[in-house]
Amino acid sequence: MTTTRSALSEADIRLLLKGAEPEERALVAHRLCRHIDRANLTEEERAEAHQILRLMARDAAEQVRRALAVTLKASPLIPRDVANRLARDIESIAVPMLNFSPAFTDEDLAEIVRIGGPVRQCAVARRPVLSETVTAVISEAGAEEAVQIACGNDGAAFSERGLAAAIERFAASEAVLASIALRAALPARITERLVTLVTGELRERLVARHGLTPQTALAVAIGTRERASLDLVEQAARASDLPAFVAHLRRGQRLTASLLLRALANGQMSFFEWGLAELSGVPHHRTWLMVHDAGELGLKAIYERAGLPGRLLPAFRAAVDAFHSMDLDGAPGDLQRFQRRMLERFLSQPLAISTEDVDYLLDKIDSLSLDEAVDEDAEPAAANAA
């Protein structure tokens, strides 16, 4: 054999095939595998090498088979049948192959996940690259740890169906949900499902990383007490298409006076304008003129046409007047200070708004003041460091 003769002596070959001691055969197997992996083989030499590898894979000695698996775990030279044989060997031999070997097809890996047990499933889940075909089977048949590992694997591609299956099976597993939530990209429906299952910091990170559709923002924010982490007003500020956002809110009967008042008190004039335009059926440019350039009567006319409650008109007028009287000054934290001053000025008026809305706006002032305090504390530290 050309390959073996260039790498080993006749004595080595005899030891590989008939050596009495497993340790001796394992040493020869390791040496030959290293040579095979590094050599530039002809087709004839490659065929000869494959025959040698098949002999090693059938060796009774665990040390020989492990030498083969560990040395050639990432080699493109190893034949598919040898890789599959080793994948069904004891775990210490199977895992290196399953972690790295390019010899497996997607069908091979899917079958191993189905029948292989948690250790082999986890080994497959850690592969540098996984197709949607394989991750779907992991989601549907894998142990919890394997699903968590696969979902946290940046090289693993997931279909929406695969992610949905993982969520359905492990909706109570914080580890699995966190691995999915922190993926670089998620389908909108998966984000919507997750945001109803996770809480606290993980929910905040999910919203910050993937955003939410209006449907999800409505489902979670309206009627809940978790506005600090998920706020419809804040979602409106992030919306890239305000007309579409307010249109959806109206269809869901959520474009309410309370929501518009909260947004306006937070300085979100554009959202207020588009909301009035949507409710009144008046084009946005005309709505803008009636709010900003037509005096009190203009605001009153567009407000009434929008069908908003008359008792709240003074509160909206106070918010609009406060907005017109304030300017951004361009300093660090400009927007936060503007919003806080806007809220303070608005709430200083004797207005007939609900206790719930007052509590909400007071909470917003507290959070904005806290942000400013953190920024102010950070400035001296930065100056001292400089």
156: which strand partners?
130
Q: Identify whether residues 379 and 297 lie together within a single domain.
A: yes
Low-confidence ranges of the chain (pLDDT < 50): 1-9, 221-230, 370, 372-386
The values of phi and psi at residue 290, to 5°, are -70, -30
CA distances from 236 to 20, 140, 214, 250, 343 (A): 76, 37, 9, 13, 17
Identify whether 222 is part of a domain. Answer: no
- Other Cβ atoms closer than 10 A to 129: 11
Identify whether 48 is part of a domain. Answer: yes
What pLDDT is recorded for position 325? 77
Q: Identify whether residues 260 and 182 lie together within a single domain.
A: no
Q: Identify whether residues 22 and 160 lie together within a single domain.
A: no
Q: Identify whether residues 385 and 262 lie together within a single domain.
A: yes
Q: Identify whether residues 156 and 16 lie together within a single domain.
A: no
Identify whether 10 is part of a domain. Answer: yes
Q: Identify whether residues 138 and 246 lie together within a single domain.
A: no
What pLDDT is recorded for position 19? 57
First to last CA, the chain: 70
Q: Identify whether residues 172 and 275 lie together within a single domain.
A: no
| CA 103 from centre of chain | 30
Identify whether 335 is part of a domain. Answer: yes
| pLDDT per position as a tens digit, 59-78 | 888 988 998 899 899 988 89
Up-side HSE of residue 26: CA atoms within 13 Å toward CB? 13
Residue 363 neighbours by CB under 8 Å, 6+ apart: 227, 228
C-alpha to C-alpha distance for 29 and 346, rounded to whole angstroms: 81
Q: Give 244's DSSP letter.
A: H
Return the SS3 of 130. strand
Identify whether 229 is part of a domain. Answer: no
Boundary (domain end) residue, out of 210, 232, 257: 210
Return the SS3 of 115. helix
Identify whether 133 is part of a domain. Answer: yes
Boundary (domain end) residue, out of 165, 195, 210: 210
Identify whether 189 is part of a domain. Answer: yes
Boundary (domain end) residue, out of 170, 186, 210: 210
C-alpha to C-alpha distance for 200 and 95, rounded to whole angstroms: 37
Give the total number of structural domains in the chain: 3
Q: What is the pTM of this model?
A: 0.56
Q: Identify whether residues 291 and 344 lie together within a single domain.
A: yes
| pLDDT per position as a tens digit, 195-239 | 778 877 787 777 777 766 555 555 554 444 334 333 566 666 666
Q: Identify whether residues 285 and 196 lie together within a single domain.
A: no
User: Which residue matches tokens 């923002």?
Assistant: 217
Q: Identify whether residues 188 and 265 lie together within a single domain.
A: no
Q: Identify whether residues 248 and 369 lie together within a single domain.
A: yes
Residue 65 domain boundaries: 1-75
Up-side HSE of residue 276: CA atoms within 13 Å toward CB? 28
Q: Identify whether residues 118 and 45 lie together within a single domain.
A: no
Nearest to 179 by CA among 210, 219, 145: 145
Identify whether 82 is part of a domain. Answer: no
